[in-house]
A and B are shown apart, each in its own frame.
Chain A
Amino acid sequence: MAGLPLLPELVRQLFSRPATNAFPSRHLPSSITGFLAKVARGEATIHPPIPTPPKFRGKIVYDREACIGCSLCLRVCPAHAIEFIPETKRVRIYVTQCIFCSQCNDVCPKNALHMSHEFLLATEDRYAESQIVE
């Protein structure tokens, strides 16, 4: 009694909206980089991504004033993404190294580290200003 049970579902899908979220633009532009340059100039807008859940782990945020330089975060970072600067007794975080486990957030005695909701982090330069948090 085998047949083609997917057929009715496929016909139904012809008349329903797509399940995917069109990102970064509603319709495929002829050039993605050209479109993003337009966005940077303010001529076009990005179709927003799906919102992140409340406790999402995005790019790290560092509160330099609250930090006491105990360097506990260095001991628990699996990726060795945190560097201790002895002169200033503060840390520097390399976002390209970070694996977003947020373990440093848990261990920090002064709550100086947090995870933001920012996740569009790709660049061509590992040491760009946006990739280093200090």
Chain B
Amino acid sequence: MSAEKAKKTVPYTVPIGPVHPALKEPVMFTFGMEGEIVRTVDFAPGQTHRGIEWMGMRRNPVQIVHLTDRICGICGIVHSLSFARAVEQIAEIEVPERADYIRTILHELERIQSHLLWAGVAAHELGFDSLFYLAWRVREQSMDLIENLTGNRVNYGIVQIGGVRRDISDEQRALVEKGLDYYQGLLDQMATLFLKDSTILMRCRGHGILSWDDARLLCTVGPTARASGLNMDVRQDYPYCAYGDLDVKAILPPPETGGPQGDVYDRIIVRLLEVGQSIGIIRQCLGQLPAGEILWEPKMAKLLSVLKKAEGEGIGRVEAPRGECMHYVKMAGKEAPDSWKVKASSYSNLMSWIPMLQGEQLADIPIIVASIDPCLSCTDRVAVTRNGRSDILTKEDLTRLSREKTRRMMQ
């Protein structure tokens, strides 16, 4: 073999995905490897585009609100809440206070189950399956609570435009309190199991580092940003629902563990601490749960006619377990919205993979990829399919297309 030929093989290109057992989500990675070390990273999302916005633009808001439940399999309330808030803004609907509190309670229960799910997945990616089973067993309690409150384990269907569809009765309240006590008792145990374990410490401390600057420049959100030391949380910065009345502070890795270092270990710490924070928020909500209506307009026919007349634009933002989730809705006095755009939280976090993965070993890829808690089925909505080939348009492509169009029009 000539020397020139041998040169071409370094760095090796290792493709992983779009569907691969090491990655829990469908995404296509292309790694440039030098030995075991990752030198370059490229990835292509857009493998699970489902056209849910297209479906939404042919339905009225009352129908869409249950469609939004299906955007993500884990964030059952985040998307519907975000969409409902956008529509409420447009139609100037004031949500009753009790409904706001019930929304907050469910929102936080969801955060508990989502973070525990992630903790299990992270343990599984490290090959620590006994901890994975333990985390998921513990998670069941919150799933049961959600099922009891909403009527379903996964697609809750609890949010309605202008409020919530189900009230919390006294018996349910007792159940929630019991569940919170259960988690409160578990918190210390979970913290010991995850943070004092030598396997986890070895594999996560100092790996997948995202610096404060990178986190800020790449516009990361949620626990990924907070683990890098960015003090941001939609619940703290732009309070919605009942968060304005509650004591919510963005959780950063505490000084006891060495402050924010932006590695995988810090992301575990932030999420575990947020489970504790959610318990506190639900307790506060139950403590000051106001009496009153839960819907702005219980008669759905009347609600539909109000929404049909609504005109304008609205943006709903909520802090999903993975970070900020945003829905943009434009209504133009018709049954269906004119435009509906979903920005899922993972969309903002995906780019942080590149600085995190560079310089790491091949075997560290699964845990680092999982550490931002990616949710690609929510994120994928920019695929362009043409002649059976799918493309993702980059900024350069768009600029080129725009210039070509100008030239065409000038002719």
Contacts and interface: CB of A to CB of B under 8 A. Distances in A.
Nearest to A3: B198
Contact of B134 (A3, A4, A6, A100): A6
A5 B300 contact: no
Interface residues of B, number: 34
B151 interface: yes
A49 to B, nearest CB: 13
B187 interface: no
A134 to B, nearest CB: 22
Given A57-B151, A100-B152, A106-B165, A78 B134 contact: no
Interface string A67-102: 000001001111000000000000000000001111
B130 A72 contact: no
A88 B128 CA distance: 60
Interface string B105-143: 000000000000000000000000011001001001000
A: interface residue count bin: 20 to 34
Contacts of B196: 1-3, 5
Q: Is the interface of A mostly helix, strand, loop or mixed?
A: loop
A120 interface: no
Given A6-B197, A78-B64, A103-B62, A72 B301 contact: yes
Given A78-B59, A101-B66, A57 B157 contact: yes
A57 B140 contact: no
B78 to A, nearest CB: 17
B49 interface: no
A17 to B, nearest CB: 12
Interface in B149-163: 151-152, 155, 157
Interface string A39-73: 00000000000000111110000000000000010
A23 B143 CA distance: 19
Contacts of A2: 196-198, 201
B248 to A, nearest CB: 29
B192 interface: yes
A112 interface: no
Given A53-B147, A57-B151, A99-B155, A6 B165 contact: no
A107 B140 CA distance: 32
Contacts of A129: none
Given A76-B62, A103-B300, A106-B300, 14 more contacts: A2-B197, A4-B197, A9-B134, A19-B140, A53-B147, A53-B148, A57-B157, A75-B304, A76-B63, A78-B66, A100-B152, A101-B155, A102-B151, A106-B165
Interface of B: 59-60, 62-67, 69-70, 130-131, 134, 137, 140, 144, 147-148, 151-152, 155, 157, 165-166, 192-193, 196-199, 201, 300-301, 304
6 contacts: A6-B130, A6-B197, A9-B134, A53-B147, A78-B66, A103-B66
